[in-house]
């Protein structure tokens, strides 16, 4: 049986209505017309350029990644800084990273997700595609776990019931992306 995930916008609304959402450190920020709030995007980019420069030397690549990451995180109802922390832990911002388990790209997406969510030709090493998959998957797990970041991150990593992975992501979030 195929798992079905709710679209990012609907999932964002579901998260907004779920228990504990009000206590999350970030809510989606959209402009009046429903698009990304560019003021918040520029502020986010300005704050994250310096920490991201440890991983990505090119200013243009940093700007492009931060803009797309912000959009995908907002669409999925996730804190963009959490997504940065997850990428730091998963791939150290290497879009062509492949784990020993076969996870691919920035957010280390397992290839089976292509059959679940996408198209057979989806390239998980493409940062834009990888961000879409990763944010959608993490938002799904956050909804399943009623806003519990520890359990959602453990599900994302495949280590539900253990805390070592969520602790690594949360430490990275606090240390580098707040």
Which of the four pLDDT bands, split at 50, 70 and 90, describes residue 12? very low
pLDDT given at position 154: 97
> Residue 73 above 50 pLDDT?
yes
> Residue 128 above 90 pLDDT?
yes
> Residue 177 above 90 pLDDT?
yes
pLDDT given at position 133: 97
pLDDT given at position 36: 66
pLDDT given at position 120: 87
Per-residue pLDDT tens digits for 92-115: 999 999 999 999 999 999 999 999
pLDDT given at position 35: 60
Percent of the chain with pLDDT over 70: 80
Say which CATH topology domain 8-177 has: Lysozyme (1.10.530)
Average pLDDT over residues 71-79: 96
Please report, for the chain, the start and end positions of each structural domain, with discontinuous segments joined by +: 8-177
Percent of the chain with pLDDT over 90: 74
For the chain, give the secondary structure using H, E and C: CCCCCCCHHHHHHHHHHCCCHHHCCCCCCECCCCCECHHHHHHHHHHHHHHHCCCCCCHHHHHHHHHHHHHHHHHHCCCHHHHHHHHHHHHCCCCCCECCCCCECCCCECCHHHHHHCCCCCCCCCHHHHHHHHHHHHHHHHHHCCCCHHHHHHHHHCCCCCCHHHHHHHHHHHHHHC
pLDDT given at position 69: 98
């Amino acid at each position: 049986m195929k798992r079905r995930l709710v679209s990012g916008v609907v999932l964002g609304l579901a998260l907004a209505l779920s228990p504990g959402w009000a206590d999350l450190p970030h809510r989606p920020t959209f402009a009046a017309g429903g698009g990304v709030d560019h003021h918040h995007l520029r502020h986010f980019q300005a704050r994250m350029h310096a920490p991201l420069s440890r991983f990505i030397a090119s200013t243009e690549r940093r700007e492009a990644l931060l803009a797309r990451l912000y959009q995908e995180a907002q669409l999925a109802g996730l804190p963009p800084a959490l997504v940065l922390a997850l990428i730091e832990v998963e791939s150290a911002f290497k879009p062509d990273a492949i784990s020993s388990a076969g996870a691919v790209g920035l957010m280390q997406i397992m290839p089976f997700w292509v059959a679940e969510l996408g198209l057979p030709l989806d390239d998980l090493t493409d940062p834009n595609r990888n961000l879409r998959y990763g944010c959608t998957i993490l938002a799904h797990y956050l909804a399943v776990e009623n806003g519990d970041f520890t359990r959602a991150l453990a599900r994302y990593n495949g280590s539900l019931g253990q805390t070592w992975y969520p602790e690594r992501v949360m430490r990275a979030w606090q240390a580098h992306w707040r």
